[in-house]
Amino acid sequence: MAKVFNDSVMSLPGTDSALTFRRGALDWEATYGIWRRDLKKFFREKSRLWGGIARPILWLIILGSSLKPAISSSSLGSTGIDYTHYIFPGVIALTLIFTSIQSAISIIWDREFGFLKEVMVAPVPRLSILLGKALGGATQATIQGIITLAFAPLIGLWLNPLVLLGLLGTMFVIAFALTALGIVISSAMTSFEGFGVISNFVVMPMYFLSGAIYPTESAPFWIKPLIYINPLTYGVDALRQVTIGVGVHDFWFDMGVLAVFAVVVLAIALPLFNRE
């Protein structure tokens, strides 16, 4: 069998390996290999880790301090919630969506340099490859989210170990769903430039319509349908419930919406991925 991974990761098993399932089933060893490869690339790119530090400083400390007087005097002021605490889950969501979507650009990179072709000709189920990319992107985004969590004490937000554990699981579910969306975009794109334009067109509206930096209860009626169909709305709501105990929907409802969204988007991504 053709060798799929380079010497930085483990090779896929041969067709006679006992660990390889029949064609059409999931090959978890292949999924693990792709996840591991993407994670190694992530840790080699130090600029991405530094970006995980710079983004919370910009949005949480600078933007939060600037908007606090205006937002606190609105409907949020009557709740007694500090604005910087209110937007902290939104800053986590910002980190997750940027990292998740951008991680999917590796598909274009792998296609450009021939690695994806080697993977696709191997006797490995396409769904295993897809899951490896989705899990890799979700793990990267969760790591960036953990970096953002380190800024919580700076704004006077103290999170106990149980809350931190809940945040880790919530961040991973959100990141997995958003990475799946990024895979759909990258599978349909043929250039880095096209991916950048489309991803920004998707990321920024999703973020500003999610209620990450301001309450959406007073939004105009014509914009509320866009808020309700936005998956990040439910991600931000879930993060806010875990961190400060405030939310619009039930936590498990939010998680259910994100899980359904992830399954639907992966189902859309699979035929696009099969065209490679």
Q: Let me know the angle formed at the C-alpha of 271 by 175 and 134, rounded to the nearest 5 degrees.
A: 20
pLDDT at position 108 is 75
Contact 90, 210 (CB under 8 A): yes
Q: 114 near 256, Cβ under 8 Å?
A: no
Cα distance between residue 230 and residue 261, in whole Å:
10
Question: What confidence category does residue 65 fall into, taking pLDDT thresholds of 50, 70 and 90?
Answer: low
How big is the chain by its Cα radius of gyration, in Å?
20
pLDDT tens for 220-244 read 888 889 999 999 999 999 999 999 8
Q: Smallest Cα–Cα separation from 27: which of 13, 37, 38? A: 13
What pLDDT is attached to residue 82? 77
pLDDT of 33 reads 85
Highest mean pLDDT among 14-23, 50-59, 67-76, 263-272: 263-272
pLDDT given at position 13: 40
Q: Tokens 């205006």 map to which residue? A: 70
Q: Check: CB of residue 273 under 8 Å from CB of residue 183.
A: yes
Long-range contacts of the stretch 212-218 (C-beta < 8 A, 24+): 212/87, 212/89, 212/90, 212/91, 212/93, 212/94, 212/236, 213/63, 213/67, 213/87, 213/90, 214/67, 214/71, 214/76, 215/74, 215/75, 215/76, 217/75, 217/248, 218/74, 218/75
**Domain residue extents for the chain:** 28-274
How long a stretch of residues is the chain?
Answer: 276
What per-residue confidence (pLDDT) applies to 197? 76
pLDDT tens-digit profile of 170-222? Answer: 999 999 999 999 888 887 777 766 777 777 788 888 988 998 888 887 788 88
Q: How many CA atoms lie within 13 A of 30 on its CB side?
A: 26
What pLDDT digit, counting tens, does each position of 75-130 carry? 565 566 777 888 899 899 989 998 888 887 777 777 766 666 666 666 777 788 88
First to last CA, the chain: 19
Average pLDDT, the chain: 79
Q: What are phi and psi of 33, to 5 degrees?
A: -60, -45
